[in-house]
Amino acid sequence: MSLTANIAEVKAYIESITDIKPEIGLILGSGLGVLADEIENPAVIPYKEIPHFPVSTVEGHKGQLVIGTLKGKNVVAMQGRFHYYEGYGLDAVTFPVRVMRAIGVDRMIVTNAAGGVNESYAPGDLMLIKDHINFTGRNPLIGPNDEKLGVRFPDMSTAYCPDLRALAHKVANAHGIKVQEGVYVGLLGPSYETPAEICMLRILGGDAVGMSTVPEVIVARHAGIRVLGISCISNMAAGILPQPLSHEEVMETTEKVKSAFLTLVKAIIKE
């Protein structure tokens, strides 16, 4: 079956479950999935029940689509996302973005937990993603291009929509939430970086580092979706602080910053 046929099948499946036509897509990263619990009148669809969807394996990821209303807007949230390091292909990692586009999404908020590379950052900071560096050495658009889905050579000069980012700054200010703005470097993982790699990424202009987001944003831009990206700086990257990195620290920090994150994202959706 072709990609477009698979997308059409999932679109029909979702539309058989809910009448809600989402306009905003949310991809919720490690520990940030709680936002989906606040969606009203939700249709909750476990990934394992959706045709052609892969199934999420990482701790802290629930693995379901939640479609409903949030702050008066129709939204679809991915509660848990797929990572390349789990062994999925990039086509699987980015398939949900194709589905979002097909069911009506034209703006997307993508979130993640990321390591701080910029030494002026602190764990618990929220960072609006200004741009990314694709350090994965791969691209989800490799292969024949289907012109119905997007152009062969998509422009990435405003990958992260300046207008949405300006709105996010305005909303953050109004709520007294401090936000950083910086460049997200996407790597494959699953090992964290060495101190030498983090030093290199800093020299190259990176402010935060993570193992997600880049493939989804490339496909979103290909599909014509405008993107707002928010990183939760869950820990400082290797070589900055004396202690080793751990997934537990990532989860602990996202737990602490959750309420500011929820307030910010809900206020942005409202606006």
Residues identified as active-site:
30, 61, 83, 85-86, 113, 211-212, 235, 247
| Nearest residue (CB) to ligand 6GU, 13 versus 85 | 85
183 binds ligand 6GU per the rule CB under 6 A = no
The enclosing H or E element of 150 equals none
String marking each residue 107-126 x if it binds ligand 6GU according to CB under 6 A: ------xxx-----------
| Nearest residue (CB) to ligand 6GU, 70 versus 237 | 237
209 binds ligand 6GU per the rule CB under 6 A = yes
HSE of 175 in the Cβ direction (CA atoms, 13 Å)? 20
Rounded to whole angstroms, what are the CA distances from 14 to 10, 56, 62, 127, 207? 6, 19, 18, 32, 37
Please give the size of the binding site for ligand 6GU, defined by CB under 6 A.
Answer: 15
Residue 44 DSSP class: E
Minimum distance of ligand 6GU from residue 151's CB (angstroms): 30
In the range 220-259, which residues lie near ligand 6GU by CB under 6 A?
234-235, 237, 245, 250
State which of residues 25, 192, 213, 254 lies at the interface with ligand 6GU (CB under 6 A): 192
Minimum distance of ligand 6GU from residue 138's CB (angstroms): 15
24 binds ligand 6GU per the rule CB under 6 A = no
Minimum distance of ligand 6GU from residue 35's CB (angstroms): 18
Minimum distance of ligand 6GU from residue 94's CB (angstroms): 19
Q: Please report, as a single letter, which amino acid is at residue 219.
A: V
Three-state DSSP at 50 gives coil
Which residue has the CB atom at the shortest distance from ligand 6GU? 115
Q: Which stretch binds ligand 6GU (CB under 6 A): 31-39, 149-157, 206-214, 261-269?
A: 206-214
Three-state DSSP at 129 gives strand
**129 CB-contact burial (10 Å; exposed 0-12 / middle 13-18 / buried 19+):** buried
Strands 73-79 and 64-70: antiparallel
| Nearest residue (CB) to ligand 6GU, 99 versus 187 | 187
In the range 50-69, which residues lie near ligand 6GU by CB under 6 A?
none
Closest CA to 10 of 104, 108, 99, 101: 99
33 binds ligand 6GU per the rule CB under 6 A = no
SS3 content of the chain, % helix, strand, coil (to 5): 35, 25, 40
**149 CB-contact burial (10 Å; exposed 0-12 / middle 13-18 / buried 19+):** middle
Strands (DSSP E) along the chain, which ranges?
24-28, 40-46, 64-70, 73-79, 107-116, 126-134, 179-186, 208-210, 226-236
- Does residue 165 contact residue 128 with C-beta atoms inside 8 Å? yes
Minimum distance of ligand 6GU from residue 142's CB (angstroms): 22
127 binds ligand 6GU per the rule CB under 6 A = no
State which of residues 66, 78, 99, 211 lies at the interface with ligand 6GU (CB under 6 A): 211
- Residues in the site for ligand 6GU, rule: CB under 6 A? 113-115, 187, 189, 192-193, 209-211, 234-235, 237, 245, 250
